[in-house]
């Protein structure tokens, strides 16, 4: 049975009636911002028979935009063991509906966003320096582009591995 979608308002009503809200995002995403009522179980840790879901009458899964929950719909259905729903539009739609979230600005940005910022900054710097200083700086943009292609093909992102070791990303 496919996951049914719920609007943020309908999800809020179901939660008030006892439904379990499960945030499937990564730890760093959850730490920075989440719905207060949400139980955090990363997608990689969800499996049938998960004790955190035992006894639930209904489970509502969500991620940031709804894309991950749609892509993992069958896995999530198999894990639920009860009525299963997806929060339509995820956390983003919840916020657009004006519903409350817990934001901890002291937590670092999600690692994926840090990679995007760092890669974009390096490409921009390489381009500007290539135009203004020396064409050799274009190699920096090419190197970053090649690294992103390699990360996409292999699943290994050296920049993410480097950024996760930065002091602001270390768990206290």
What residues act catalytically? 63
Q: What is the DSSP string of 19-88?
A: PEEEE-S-HHHHHHEE-TT-EE--GGG--TT-GGGTT-SEEEEE-SSSHHHHHTHHHHHHHHSSEEEEET
DSSP conformational letter for 113: H
Instruction: Quote the CA–CA distance of 32 and 12 in Å, as a whole number.
Output: 21
């Amino acid at each position: 049975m496919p996951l049914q979608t719920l609007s943020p308002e309908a999800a809020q009503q179901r939660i008030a009636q006892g439904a379990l809200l499960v945030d499937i995002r990564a730890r760093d995403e959850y730490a920075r911002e989440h719905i207060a009522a949400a139980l955090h179980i990363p997608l990689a840790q969800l499996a049938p028979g998960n004790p955190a879901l035992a006894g639930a009458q209904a489970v509502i899964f969500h991620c940031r935009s709804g894309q991950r929950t749609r892509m993992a719909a069958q896995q999530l259905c198999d894990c639920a063991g009860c009525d299963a729903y997806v929060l339509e539009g995820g956390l983003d739609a919840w916020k657009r509906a004006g519903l409350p979230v817990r934001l901890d600005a002291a937590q670092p940005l999600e690692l994926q966003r840090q990679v995007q910022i760092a890669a974009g900054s390096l490409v921009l710097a390489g381009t500007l320096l290539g135009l203004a200083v020396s064409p050799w700086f274009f190699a920096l943009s090419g190197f970053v582009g090649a690294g992103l292609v390699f990360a996409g093909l292999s699943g290994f992102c050296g920049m993410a591995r480097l950024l996760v070791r930065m002091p602001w990303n270390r768990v206290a």
